Amino acid sequence: MACGGSSLPKPTYVAHPADAGALEQVNYPPPPARVEFIPEQPRDDAVWIDGEWQWQGTRWGWKPGRWVVPPTNASYSPWTTVRDRDGNLYAAAGKWRDSSGAEIADPPAIAVARTRGGPVVDPEGESVGATRNVPAVAPAGGGAAKANAKGEADDAGAPETPSGATPTGTETKSAPAADGGGP
């Protein structure tokens, strides 16, 4: 199964809190979602969490989709990006929340999606290296993707991304030099 079918069991969703603590200002919007190959549901009580872009300080990193057993009485706030009135962009990573809305620890991944490997092309048509995945660790022997020693999903064996594919983790492009005049 690829690109997440609507028949996948999902957690109960809840919005991120309205306070600014859930949001981090980012330099530019995330690329389109990465193609993922979703493993079979490992347990009847498991729910699927879609892969998401997470801001890594200077660039976006992909956290692969994963099967988890949801914590008792918890809901999930999926990742999001929003703009303020001045056009500044903010991102909030996906988080699990208890019944009072407080953030709680992520449950362990019991199976992790595989993502496409190989070179990618950014929106300007330039070839760029793919970003490393954000860790979404599956236990040894479980899941479609195994974690390497650093806890990152191993993309070995994933299909190569064809030329002209959607971008995955483009670097910030330098702006043209200012001419001294205002916008």
Is residue 36 within 8 A of residue 155, CB to CB? The reply is no
Rounded to an integer, what distance in angstroms lies between the CA atom of residue 18 and that of residue 29? 20
> Residue 147: what pLDDT?
40
Rounded to an integer, what distance in angstroms lies between the CA atom of residue 174 and that of residue 65? 31
Q: Three-state SS for 30?
A: coil
The HSE-up count of residue 120 (CA atoms within 13 Å, CB side) is 21
Alpha helices in 59-181 (DSSP H): none
Comparing C-alpha atoms, which of 163, 158, 164 is closest to residue 133? 158
What are the tens digits of pLDDT across the range 54-102? 998 888 888 999 999 999 999 999 999 999 999 999 999 999 999 999 9
Average pLDDT, integer, range 138-147 = 41
State the CB neighbour count (10 A cutoff) for residue 97: 21
> Residue 18: what pLDDT?
77
Higher pLDDT, 164 or 33: 33
pLDDT beyond 80 at 48: yes
Comparing C-alpha atoms, which of 138, 130, 140, 91 is closest to residue 112? 138
pLDDT beyond 60 at 143: no
What are the tens digits of pLDDT across the range 99-123? 999 999 999 999 999 987 655 556 6
What are the tens digits of pLDDT across the range 10-35? 999 999 887 767 789 999 998 888 88
Q: Three-state SS for 20?
A: helix
> Residue 165: what pLDDT?
33
